[in-house]
């Protein structure tokens, strides 16, 4: 168990806590005191495919990461990337003492700390500046939250009341207004949703196996096939009663059901990230997250796509394109002039006109090439001139891209 200095102060450590009004209940600070006083730790966490903590101790993990982060990271810091690396390392060490985490989960753990920290600052902004359910006189934040001091709050307040933040806040509100299909996932996200689904399916399989005198008696563990992400997306929009309250979401669900039947009949075929859900929603997946899976998932991890190579690799520059265009234009002109000379010479001869020898010599024949003759990949290697040929760097680029 971690020492006392590695844990956020409990409610008893803060003497001047504002008492909640009996007529107005509101959310107070989460201290995760029940975790620190529990002797059963450290706790073994389970992880979903997108890197979210799930399982029996998920709620304890989320509560503790939020509490420990608030106590160690100042709220006036504008971005997580500006948090000192030493502080992040201390957070990681503290969390590892209470929860069994492999080192390869460090990124996911710190990402969760970042999210809890940002959510906390959003709640403070809503409570003290937007909805104004609290005020500094009756509920001084530096007294209610042990991780905040007066100086920290002063800087944070100046930031929230600045014109720059108001513009940013308004822009974020506009983005949120574009969220036409709000979810009802709760703090567990899609990871917890899928965990409940798997448990329900396992329970059904065990009951079915017991009733048919198979399954349980055979000792085989039932296997639950992962659901398509459009099914998770639909379940995430249902309320606790299993209903979809949003009318726009209902229209998308109807379209999803239609596309599901078309996929079964072969009328619709998914291609990579353009699957049933993408088609129903009408816009492509965003590179930063994947809908119906979770914020920690990426297009590469979900659709098993190969990493994109450097887009500039093997591509021509604007200058090279101009050089090739000019070169081809001149080559076409030379070929046209040569062909016209040959045609002119033939016409003159057919008409019985004698062409002087010195003039006939200047009539350059158009070079011809046998179909079986090999093509030199570098037309300038021997210094000769051909009719339509690209500079050597262009050939190398085209061949490399093949």
Q: Give per-residue pLDDT as tens, 361-396.
A: 555 444 444 444 444 444 444 444 433 344 444 434
Closest Cα to residue 369, out of 354, 389, 396?
389
Q: Is residue 312 part of a domain?
A: no
Matching residue, tokens 């006036």: 76
Same domain, 40 and 146: yes
115 shares its domain with 232 = no
Last residue of a domain, one of 239, 271, 303: 303
Are 136 and 232 part of one and the same domain?
no
Does the pLDDT of residue 203 top 60, yes or no? yes
Give CA–CA dist 213/191, Å, rounded. 33
Q: Give how many domains the chain has, as a whole number.
A: 3
DSSP bridge pairs for 100: 44
DSSP 183-251: ----TTHHHHHHHHHHHHHHHHHHHHHHHTT-TTTTTPPP-PPPPPHHHHHHHHT--TTS----HHHHH
Q: Are residues 234 and 98 in the same domain?
A: no
Q: In angstroms, rounded to a whole number, what is the distance separating the alpha carbons of residues 292 and 233?
A: 4
Same domain, yes or no, for 156 and 194? no
152 in the same domain as 53? yes
Report the percentage of the chain scoring pLDDT > 70.
69
Q: Is residue 310 part of a domain?
A: no
pLDDT digits (tens, 9 = 90+) for 143-196: 888 889 999 999 999 999 999 998 988 888 888 888 888 888 877 788 778 778
The whole-number pLDDT of residue 386 equals 37
* 162 and 36, same domain (yes or no): yes
Q: How far apart are CA 5 and CA 22, in angstroms?
A: 34
Q: Is residue 223 part of a domain?
A: yes
Whether residue 323 is contained in a domain is answered as: yes
β-strand pairing of 46-47 with 43-44: unpaired
Q: Are both 52 and 160 inside the same structural domain?
A: yes
In angstroms, rounded to a whole number, what is the distance separating the alpha carbons of residues 145 and 164?
26
Q: Are residues 294 and 337 in the same domain?
A: no
Boundary (domain end) residue, out of 268, 303, 338: 303
Residue with tokens 């030379």: 334
Higher per-residue pLDDT: 311 or 77 = 77
Of 177, 197, 217, the last residue of a domain is: 177
Q: For the whole model, what pTM was predicted?
A: 0.57
Q: Would you say residue 255 lies in a domain?
A: yes
Nearest Cα residue to 295 out of 375, 212, 236, 382: 236
Q: Which pLDDT score is estimated for 357?
A: 67
Residue 8's domain comprises: 4-17+25-177
Instruction: Tell how far CA 158 is from the center of its chain.
Output: 32
Q: Name the pLDDT band for 94 (thresholds 50, 70, 90).
A: very high
Find out whether the peptide bond into 291 is cis, omega within 30 degrees of 0: no
102 and 251: one domain?
no
Between CA 267 and CA 260 the distance in angstroms is 10
Judge whether 114 lies within some domain.
yes
Say if 183 falls within a structural domain.
no
Tell whether 369 is covered by a domain: yes
290 and 326 share a domain?
Answer: no
Q: If you average pLDDT over each of 159-168, 208-217, 222-231, 269-278, which comes out highest? A: 159-168
In the prediction, which pLDDT does 401 show? 40
Task: Band the pLDDT of 137: cuts 50, 70, 90.
Answer: confident
Residues 293 and 350 occupy one common structural domain: no
> What's the rounded mean pLDDT across residues 88-98?
93
Backbone angles phi, psi at 73, to 5 degrees: -110, 125
């Amino acid at each position: 168990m971690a020492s006392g200095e590695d844990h956020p102060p409990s409610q008893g450590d803060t003497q001047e806590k504002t008492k909640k009004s009996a007529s107005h209940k509101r959310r107070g600070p989460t201290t995760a005191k029940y975790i620190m006083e529990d002797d059963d730790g450290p706790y073994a966490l389970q992880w979903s495919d997108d890197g979210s903590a799930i399982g029996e101790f998920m709620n304890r993990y989320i509560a503790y990461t939020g509490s420990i982060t608030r106590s160690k990271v100042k709220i006036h810091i504008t971005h997580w990337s500006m948090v000192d690396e030493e502080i992040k390392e201390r957070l990681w060490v503290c969390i590892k003492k209470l929860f069994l985490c492999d080192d390869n989960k460090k990124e996911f753990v710190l990402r969760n700390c970042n999210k809890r920290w940002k959510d906390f600052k959003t709640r403070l902004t809503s409570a003290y500046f937007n909805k104004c359910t609290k005020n500094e006189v009756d509920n001084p934040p530096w007294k209610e939250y042990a991780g905040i001091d007066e100086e920290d709050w002063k800087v944070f307040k100046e930031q929230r009341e600045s014109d720059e933040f108001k513009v940013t806040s308004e822009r974020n509100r506009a983005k949120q207004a574009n969220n036409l299909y709000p979810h009802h996932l709760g703090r567990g996200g899609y990871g917890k949703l899928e965990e409940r689904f798997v448990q329900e399916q396992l329970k059904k399989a065990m009951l079915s196996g017991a009733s048919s005198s198979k399954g349980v008696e055979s000792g085989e563990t039932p296997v639950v096939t992962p659901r398509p992400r459009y099914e998770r997306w639909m379940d995430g929009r249902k309320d606790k009663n299993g209903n979809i309250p949003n009318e726009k979401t209902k229209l998308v669900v109807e379209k999803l059901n239609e596309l599901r039947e078309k996929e079964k009949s072969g009328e619709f075929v998914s291609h990579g990230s353009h699957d049933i859900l993408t088609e129903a929603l009408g816009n492509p997946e965003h590179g930063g997250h994947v809908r119906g899976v979770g914020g920690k998932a990426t297009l590469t991890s979900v659709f098993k796509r190969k990493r994109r190579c450097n887009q500039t690799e093997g591509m021509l520059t604007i200058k090279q394109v101009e050089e090739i265009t000019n070169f081809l234009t001149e080559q076409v002109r030379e070929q046209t002039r040569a062909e016209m000379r040959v045609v002119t010479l033939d016409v003159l001869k057919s008409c019985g006109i004698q062409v002087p020898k010195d003039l006939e010599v200047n009539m350059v024949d158009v070079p011809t090439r046998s179909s079986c003759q090999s093509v030199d990949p570098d037309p300038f290697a021997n210094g000769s001139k051909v009719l339509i040929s690209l500079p050597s760097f262009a050939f190398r680029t085209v061949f490399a891209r093949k």
